[in-house]
Amino acid sequence: MDITLGWYLGAVPLLGWLLWWWNDLWFAYRLKRGCSAELPPGHMGLPVFGEMLSFLWYFKVLRRPDDYIKAKQNKYGKGVGLYRTHLFGSPAIIACSPSINKFVFQSEDVFNLEWPTTEIVGSTSIVAVQGESHARLRSFVSRAINQPDALRRIAHMVQPRLIEALRSWAHKGRVVAYTETKKVTFGNIGKLFAGLEQGPVVDTLDELFIGLLKGFRSYPIDIPGTAYHHALQCRKRAVGIFREELERRKKKPEEATKRNDMMDGLMQLKDEQGRHLSEIEVLDNIVSLVVAGYESTSLSMMWALYYLAKYPNVLKKLREENMLLSKTKNGEFITSDEVSELKYTKQVVEETIRLANVAAVVFRTATKDVVYKGYTIPKNWKVMLWVRYLHTDPENFEDPMCFNPERWNEPAKPGTYLVFGGGSRICIGNMLARLQLAILLHHLAVGYKWELVNPNAEMSYLSHPKPVDGAEIVFSKL
């Protein structure tokens, strides 16, 4: 045989084999020293790319994200719900069972929340700080957006914009739900967080936050021309706008009681030692709350419109419950206390959030080697809490892809419903998100009807799940 051909026949498969197993060999070799337990089963893929191609195959090409986990279960067995992988440039452990998710969320001493893009949210933001500083900030923010008094005030504040938005959709007749829910959510955020009325400043901020959010999904390289660089510029300008507002307020503290918004709340609140937040803490936290609340709330609203169009029997029941309340209101706004009495509406909210899976995966980093049920989660590896899979696994929810609010007649099995995360980092805006969604459902149900223009539109799952047409609807008054 020709010697060159022999070389190719031997070397090419060997090279292919080596590339295929490169990451597994490399990381397993580095861990061998000093590690008692083995790595979870899995495949870490090619050098640099890791398993990204397989991930994109399921999320982008097949558009069946849950099959990414099912394929692992078929290949390696369900085991303890841990798989090793290499995604987004890092070695990682996928966690997809209720018990391992609970374990990681609650072991905060060894699993840190680390944002690769802290510069974008700000180093003193609630999502960036740890330990005592985090607990202190949480209590400030919680009082401003998560307590019954705050929610009563917020329920009143958000309704004018919601009601006006629905009127304008009906006037247009045909709208893209995602575009419209984003507009109304941002309008409300501007009002709730910084007392801003609809107008050019809010429009500018909206554009800046769109740029800023893109930076989260980009590689953190601060070079002109990159999305990350643009996001940092957007952040700087957004902080500048909020800072101007803050300076104006410092000069007129007497106006605070009239506005009573998040910025005032954060400026005035004191902790047990009587300490106020610093200016930069106020600004960083306003920015990070907008980031956390903007897309999540608008996407959930879009999904509510989508599912109610697909499930007219659910909409009918929702209407019945809300019409009863509406008859007692004589056109007044509904209150957060009334919302808490709307049993079926709250079930629709829960079912929407479960299926929307706005936060499909939550990230942590192991600060030391952790052994869980015989497997090592190595120090400095990412842990990907695959909460989406908990919500779509038939073992946890019967007929999981069916939009069935009545399943909430019973609480979910322990540890299977983690849409808002868990542990001390559990979403601080969860009550605010639920309230806004319930208020939207009320006004939709009592006043409007709508249909999907493309009921069979394909889904896109990156960066967030949504129909590719953004849920275009034909919308009119009842």
Closer of 44 and 360 to ligand HEM (Cβ)? 360
* Site for ligand HEM contains 432 (CB under 6 A): yes
Residue 30, SS3? helix
Taking CB under 6 A as the binding criterion, the range among 68-76, 240-248, 418-426, 442-450 that sits at the site for ligand HEM is 418-426
Closer of 427 and 457 to ligand HEM (Cβ)? 427
Closer of 41 and 415 to ligand HEM (Cβ)? 415
Closer of 39 and 284 to ligand HEM (Cβ)? 284
Structure tokens at 446: 């009592």
Q: Which of 289, 308, 349, 471 binds ligand HEM (CB under 6 A)?
A: 289
CA–CA dist 47, 89 (Å, integer): 10
Closer of 169 and 417 to ligand HEM (Cβ)? 417
Whether the Cβ atoms of residue 383 and residue 291 lie closer than 8 Å to each other: no
CA–CA dist 204, 237 (Å, integer): 10
Residue 449, SS3? strand
CA–CA dist 406, 344 (Å, integer): 8
The minimum distance between CB 433 and ligand HEM, in angstroms, equals 4
Closer of 45 and 122 to ligand HEM (Cβ)? 122
Binders in 359-388 for ligand HEM, by CB under 6 A: 359, 362
What is the per-residue DSSP string for 72-134?
Answer: HHHHH-STTSEEEEEETTEEEEEE-SHHHHHHHHH-TTTEE---TTHHHH-TTSTTT--HHHH
Q: Which of 122, 215, 293, 470 binds ligand HEM (CB under 6 A)?
A: 293
* Site for ligand HEM contains 390 (CB under 6 A): no
Q: At 354, give phi and psi (nearest 5°).
A: -60, -50
Structure tokens at 361: 């995966």
Taking CB under 6 A as the binding criterion, the range among 32-40, 214-222, 331-339, 420-428 that sits at the site for ligand HEM is 420-428
Q: Which of 23, 296, 336, 345 binds ligand HEM (CB under 6 A)?
A: 296
* Site for ligand HEM contains 300 (CB under 6 A): yes
Closer of 70 and 425 to ligand HEM (Cβ)? 425
The minimum distance between CB 245 and ligand HEM, in angstroms, equals 18
CA–CA dist 257, 300 (Å, integer): 32
CA–CA dist 190, 388 (Å, integer): 30
Minimal CB distance to ligand HEM: which residue? 429
Binders in 22-61 for ligand HEM, by CB under 6 A: none
- With tokens 């919308």, the residue in question is 475
Q: Which of 39, 80, 127, 202 binds ligand HEM (CB under 6 A)?
A: 127
The minimum distance between CB 428 and ligand HEM, in angstroms, equals 5
427 belongs to an annotated ligand binding site: yes
The minimum distance between CB 258 and ligand HEM, in angstroms, equals 22
Q: How far apart are the first and last CA of the chain?
A: 81
CA–CA dist 470, 466 (Å, integer): 6
The minimum distance between CB 192 and ligand HEM, in angstroms, equals 8
Q: Which of 427, 453, 457, 474 binds ligand HEM (CB under 6 A)?
A: 427
* Long-range contacts, stretch 362-367, CB < 8 angstroms, 24+ apart: 362/387, 362/418, 362/421, 363/113, 363/114, 364/104, 364/111, 364/112, 364/113, 364/114, 365/111, 365/112, 365/113, 365/114, 366/93, 366/110, 366/111, 367/109, 367/110, 367/111, 367/112
Whether the Cβ atoms of residue 464 and residue 294 lie closer than 8 Å to each other: no
Sheet of strand 472-477: strand arrangement? 174-176, 472-477, 448-452
Q: Which of 170, 259, 425, 451 binds ligand HEM (CB under 6 A)?
A: 425
The minimum distance between CB 412 and ligand HEM, in angstroms, equals 15
Please state the residue numbers annotated as binding site. Answer: 427
Q: Which residues are annotated as a binding site for heme?
A: 427
Residues that bind ligand HEM (CB under 6 A): 113, 126-127, 138, 145, 288-289, 292-293, 296-297, 300, 353, 358-359, 362, 419-421, 425, 427-429, 432-433
